[in-house]
Amino acid sequence: MKLRDLLDLANEAYPDAYLSEYYDEEMSDEEVEDDPQAIFLADSSGDTLAETIVIELIDAYRTVDNRSDVVVLASALQSLERLMSQLMAVRQHLNMEFIRAFSDASRRPESTA
């Protein structure tokens, strides 16, 4: 599997196909194989999640020597699972802080101004 194929596949599932804003769809396959990181378009802006997903998929692609569909997809899935785990850990921590702050706020007596 080529990197562009992986990115295009992920782009099909992303809202408004916005992942494609973060990779060069015109770059030749030879250029991409020589330097997979070169496909990344750092000048794009707006959707940092889309940007992060593209970076993670490029990194996942770069870590495998075997470019079979199964190996590339397995590496991409592992990378996205790790990303989701990290996001969930941050979300869970913020949620616990929200519950603590809400609980503290609800125990304070109302001020009589």
Residue 99 forms part of a structural domain: yes
> What is the tens place of the pLDDT at every residue in 24-75?
999 999 999 999 999 999 876 789 999 999 999 999 999 999 999 999 999 9
Residue 88 forms part of a structural domain: yes
Buried b (16+ CB within 10 A) or exposed e, 78-96: ebeeebeeeeeeeeeeeee
Among 78, 18, 96, residue whose Cα is nearest residue 54? 18
Residue 15 forms part of a structural domain: yes
* Full-model pTM: 0.84
Separation of CA 6 from chain center: 13
Range of the structural domain that residue 78 is part of? 3-107
Residue 13 forms part of a structural domain: yes
Q: Number of folded domains in the chain?
A: 1
Residue 112 forms part of a structural domain: no
